[in-house]
Structures are given as C-alpha cells and as structure tokens.
C-alpha cells in the first residue's frame, strides 16, 4: 500500500501538482504524467466518457507509478463511490457540494467505519488482491481512511456561503472549487483576476486551513501559482487537461510548419 502522493508531497513540504484526464485512457498515460512531474491526476467522470471498467484500468496503470489517481464525479452519482474506490482509486472529488449535509453523505460512502459507512469488500484492486479478513478494520481501513482523499468542490453561491461548515465535516480531507462554474455564479465567468473571484478563492482557502483540511487551488497562470500557495493552497491543479495539452501541442507544431512553408511561398490553411 503506497502513501497517497498528495499526502506525500504535502508531508515533504512541496506543492502537490495535478493535471486531468477527460479523453485519453491508454496504459502509457500515467507514465507520461509521472515523467512530466505531476503528483496526482483527476479522471473526469463528470464531463468525460469514462465508465467503471475504464476507470479500473487507469487505476491499475496509475498504481504502477508514483502518481495517485482521483476521480471527479457529480454529487448525483455518489452511489458510485464505493465501486470506484474498490478499483484502487486514491481519491474522490465531488462537484457542486452545497451543504454540510451533502458533505456528510459523501463521507459515508467514502470512508470506512468509524468515520463513514463504506461497504467492506475483500480481495480486489484496492487491497492489492490481499485478504485482510478480520484484520480489515484494524489494518486496511485506517490506512484507507487516511490515504483516500475526499474532496467536495465548491461551485455555487450556496456552497460558498456554507464552505466553513462543509470544511468542518469530519472525514473531508480537501476542499476544491470549480473555477468556471463558480466564477459564472459570481457573475464574472472566467474573469479569474476579478476581485469577487479572488475573494471567493481566499474564503475557500481560509475555511480549509482553519479546519485542518487541504485547500486545492486551480492556478491558471504562473502568478496564481505563487499567489495561491501564499493563500495556503498546498495542492494546485494546473490549467487544462489531456485534450487542451494535446491540442496546444499540435497547434504549436502545425503553426511552426505553416510559418516555415509560408516563408518559402507555399500556401497554408
């Protein structure tokens, strides 16, 4: 059983850097993400097309690296959490959490007793196919409760109003926010330098730190990397995902080729 890479980075005094998957699910992806210097990766079940079997494959491939995989789901699907975690996924991010009651419901599905009520399964990917038997509650469950990150995401004005109470819920490990949805609800969609949005991020970070929870910032610029670290965000999600990274890389290569061809008089699109 490996320590969650988010926990490890924070314990070592580093920022835990994250990226995301929305489209690609081949076995080489976790190795590429590790080689790129990331600590964790979010698999997007909410907006991506990953089914449980694909998530299980990715979980196994990520286990061969030092990068921990977490899955993002919408709160409408929290009944899927036990099955997802039993595939060896190391964290759950739940979108649009608005109340402490919703946060407690997520904890019940995600944490073993005495914190939550996650159902106990025997041998499987989550235990490395080892059987803990009667030792489950004394050996595996405490490790899982500590290492599997439970992270509600604040994406509404109601959630922002309740963030202090959400952060206070026992079993919540980290608080995130959806920068696109939250900024839209604030009336400043993707104006990430707007004072209203900056104040919201500050409020989320302060609530997280006050209650001993990790704060996960979404740093869209290099300046925000430093700014959010100083706010107390020890976990940073960097811009984009597999789609935007691939698209940006291909555009850059094609752009250089078109520029060179134009320089010698060859027509380009």
SS3 34: helix
Residue 245 token pair? 């990274």
- Which residues 6+ apart lie within 8 Å of 15 measured at CB? 9, 225, 229, 233, 234, 235, 236
DSSP states of 98-118 as a string?
Answer: -SHHHHHHHHHHHS-TTT--P
**Cα(243)–Cα(99) distance, rounded to whole angstroms?**
32
Q: Is 38 left (phi over 0), alpha (psi -120 to 50) or beta?
A: beta
**Cα(191)–Cα(221) distance, rounded to whole angstroms?**
12
Q: At what angle do helices 195-210 and 222-231 cross, to 10 degrees?
A: 40
**Cα(141)–Cα(137) distance, rounded to whole angstroms?**
5
Residue 122 token pair? 């025997």
- Which residues 6+ apart lie within 8 Å of 12 measured at CB? none
Residue 74 known to be catalytic: no
**Cα(41)–Cα(195) distance, rounded to whole angstroms?**
29
Helix, strand, coil shares of the chain, percent, nearest 5, are: 50, 15, 35
Of the residues 45, 47, 136, 189, only one is catalytic, namely: 47
Catalytic residues: 47
């Amino acid at each position: 059983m490996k320590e969650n890479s988010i926990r490890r980075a924070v314990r070592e005094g580093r920022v835990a850097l994250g990226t995301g998957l929305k489209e690609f699910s081949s076995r080489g992806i976790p190795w590429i993400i590790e080689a790129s210097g990331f600590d964790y990766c979010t698999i997007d079940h909410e907006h991506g097309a990953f089914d449980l079997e694909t998530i299980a494959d990715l979980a196994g491939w990520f286990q061969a690296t030092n990068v921990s995989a977490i899955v993002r789901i919408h709160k409408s699907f929290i009944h899927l959490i036990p099955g997802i975690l039993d595939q060896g996924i190391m964290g759950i991010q739940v979108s649009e959490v608005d109340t402490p009651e919703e946060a407690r419901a997520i904890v019940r599905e995600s944490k073993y007793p005495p914190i939550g009520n996650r159902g106990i399964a025997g041998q499987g990917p989550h235990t490395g196919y080892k059987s803990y038997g009667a030792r489950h509650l004394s050996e595996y469950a405490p490790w899982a409760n500590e290492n599997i990150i439970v992270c509600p995401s604040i994406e509404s004005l109601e959630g922002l109003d309740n963030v202090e109470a959400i952060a206070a819920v026992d079993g919540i490990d980290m608080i995130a926010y959806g920068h696109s949805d939250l900024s839209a609800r604030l009336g400043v969609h993707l104006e990430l330098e707007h004072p209203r949005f900056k104040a919201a991020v500050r409020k989320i970070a302060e609530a997280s730190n006050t209650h001993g929870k990790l704060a996960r910032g979404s740093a869209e610029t290099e300046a925000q990397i430093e700014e959010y670290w100083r706010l107390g965000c020890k976990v940073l999600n960097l811009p984009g995902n597999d789609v935007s990274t691939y698209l940006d890389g291909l555009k850059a290569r094609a752009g250089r080729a078109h520029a060179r061809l134009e320089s010698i008089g060859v027509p380009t699109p």
